[in-house]
Amino acid sequence: MTSPQPLFNRLALIGVGLIGSSIARAARAQGVVRSIVATARSAATRVRVAELGLADQVVESNAAAADGADLVIVSIPVGQSGAVAKEIGHHLKAGAIVSDVGSVKAAVLRDMAPHIPAGVHFVPAHPVAGTEYSGPDAGFAELFVNRWCILTPPENADRTAVERLAAFWSALGANVEIMTADHHDLVLAVTSHLPHLIAYTIVGTADEFAQVTRSEVLQFSAGGFRDFTRIAASDPTMWRDVFLANKDAVLEMLGRFNEDIAGLTRAIRRGDGEALFAHFTRTRAIRKGIVAVGQDSPAPDFGRPHPGLPHAPLPRPYAADEE
């Protein structure tokens, strides 16, 4: 996986949060770039990036970061993409590759492409990997290992530039897939955006159910709720932008979801155990498929470590069996 030669001379990271800082760490660890220049919106984040030693150089503006870079990766909330592309457009050097990591692709393509000058290659990307944490401290070099990175080059994209970016992501451990931005947005609407919306909804519903929220909901959260709370802890700015930017695909999937939940509601009301059993059997098989392709742990309880028993377990065969 380690590349013998750096793939790029100078990598510019605009935005050094969970994703940007993970790229910095992984690119360093794999030796895929000769140097990294980084910037973020606030002075506080730039200071932290310097303290963590994530880049060779930390600069104060997006334009300064883009100056002279061979690969520019914009890792910021998607709602900011257009404005940032406008800031850096005139500073990009001929032959450079500009990419991003946004969770929505058609809106990024629409907002950024007009500001990228001729002779600079624009290849949007989305590493499908993350956690519920944000900021430069949250990143880690292994984040992209065995995860997918989807590239959504525009139709007229330069093939060599696409291949170079694919090689970069492969060197960081990702599996690379190429598709259109529209297709990406439809697929991610159901695999990522809708699940987040459901998590945000159910955690909000429980919170409004105030009488139990303060005590029982938290106390008994291991009954399924706990996993929703992890997803619902994801960054509010990022997810606000995702839903605004992928409105049509999310509304399409939400329509289907509402139909399906109406079907299950009817099955419960009618006492139709057969329908419920058939549905749950189908979904269980999907989970097994995800584990089989290595996208999640087969360990029980999603691989969470479990504390030991309060007392040492009885030796087998149990004492009672021996009597």
Where do contacts with ligand NAP occur on this chain (CB under 6 A)? 14-20, 40-42, 45, 62, 75-78, 80, 84, 101-103, 126-127, 130, 134-135, 235, 238, 242
Kindly state the smallest distance separating residue 28's Cβ from ligand NAP, in Å: 17
Kindly state the smallest distance separating residue 168's Cβ from ligand NAP, in Å: 16
Give the nearer residue to ligand NAP in terms of CB position, either 162 or 174.
Answer: 174
Give the nearer residue to ligand NAP in terms of CB position, either 33 or 73.
Answer: 73
Give the nearer residue to ligand NAP in terms of CB position, either 130 or 153.
Answer: 130
Kindly state the smallest distance separating residue 275's Cβ from ligand NAP, in Å: 35
Give the nearer residue to ligand NAP in terms of CB position, either 84 or 206.
Answer: 84
Please state the length of the chain.
Answer: 323
What does the alpha-carbon distance between residue 98 and residue 112 come to, in Å, rounded to a whole number? Answer: 10
Task: Kindly give the residue spans of alpha helices, DSSP state H, lying in 53-180.
Answer: 62-66, 81-88, 106-112, 159-171
Give the nearer residue to ligand NAP in terms of CB position, either 11 or 242.
Answer: 242
Burial, 169: exposed, middle or buried (Cβ in 10 Å; 0-12, 13-18, 19+)?
A: buried
Region of 97 please: left (phi>0), alpha (psi -120 to 50) or beta. Answer: beta
Report which DSSP code applies to 309: P
Kindly state the smallest distance separating residue 301's Cβ from ligand NAP, in Å: 22
Give the nearer residue to ligand NAP in terms of CB position, either 10 or 48.
Answer: 48
What does the alpha-carbon distance between residue 255 and residue 283 come to, in Å, rounded to a whole number? Answer: 19
Give the nearer residue to ligand NAP in terms of CB position, either 30 or 75.
Answer: 75
Kindly state the smallest distance separating residue 136's Cβ from ligand NAP, in Å: 7
Structure tokens that stand for 289 in this block: 């498929």
Kindly state the smallest distance separating residue 147's Cβ from ligand NAP, in Å: 9
**Cα dihedral 152/154/155/158 (nearest 10):** -100
What does the alpha-carbon distance between residue 246 and residue 256 come to, in Å, rounded to a whole number? Answer: 16
Give the nearer residue to ligand NAP in terms of CB position, either 127 or 217.
Answer: 127
Kindly state the smallest distance separating residue 42's Cβ from ligand NAP, in Å: 3
Kindly state the smallest distance separating residue 77's Cβ from ligand NAP, in Å: 5
Task: For residue 150, give the nearest of 199, 108, 119, 196 by alpha carbon.
Answer: 108
Q: Are 78 and 241 in contact (CB under 8 A)?
A: yes
Task: For residue 229, give the nearest of 202, 210, 190, 250 by alpha carbon.
Answer: 202
Q: Are 120 and 156 in contact (CB under 8 A)?
A: no
